[in-house]
């Protein structure tokens, strides 16, 4: 079976919302990593973010078949729009 990785990047404040959403959709095997988004511009809201040029983000990593990735990404776009969520997918092979 060919699997693809799906990375979902989001503002850390939306972590619980995304966990609840993924579990409600039947996805119960995924990974979480804390990370930072670096840059300048409108997404740096708080004073801490403006001084450090970074915002607190998180990423969920899932390993799914392509059909499930397309379904999940559509569902996220429909139900969680406006939450500054970015999604990426790429092929992987288990060793």
Question: pTM for the complete prediction?
Answer: 0.84
Give the span between the Cα atoms of 31 and 35, in whole angstroms.
Answer: 13
Q: How far is CA 4 from the centre of its chain?
A: 15
pLDDT of 32-71, one tens digit each? 999 988 865 655 555 555 555 778 899 999 999 999 999 9
Domain boundaries, the chain: 1-27+39-59
Q: Which of helix, strand or coil describes residue 89?
A: strand
Give the length of the chain: 95
Give the span between the Cα atoms of 1 and 32, in whole angstroms.
Answer: 24
Is the C-alpha dihedral spanning 29, 33, 38, 43 positive or negative? Answer: positive
Planar angle of CA 17, 23, 28, nearest 5 degrees: 130
pLDDT of 6-17, one tens digit each? 999 999 999 999
Give the span between the Cα atoms of 60 and 10, in whole angstroms.
Answer: 9
């Amino acid at each position: 079976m060919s699997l693809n990785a799906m990375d979902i990047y989001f503002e850390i404040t939306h972590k619980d919302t995304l966990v609840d959403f993924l579990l409600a959709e039947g996805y119960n095997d995924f990974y979480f990593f804390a990370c930072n988004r670096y840059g300048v511009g409108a997404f740096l809201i708080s004073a801490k973010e403006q001084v450090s040029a970074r915002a607190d983000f998180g990423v969920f990593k899932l390993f799914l078949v392509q059909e499930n990735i397309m379904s999940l990404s559509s569902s996220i776009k429909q139900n969680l729009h406006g939450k500054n969520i970015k999604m990426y997918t790429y092929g992987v092979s288990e060793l």
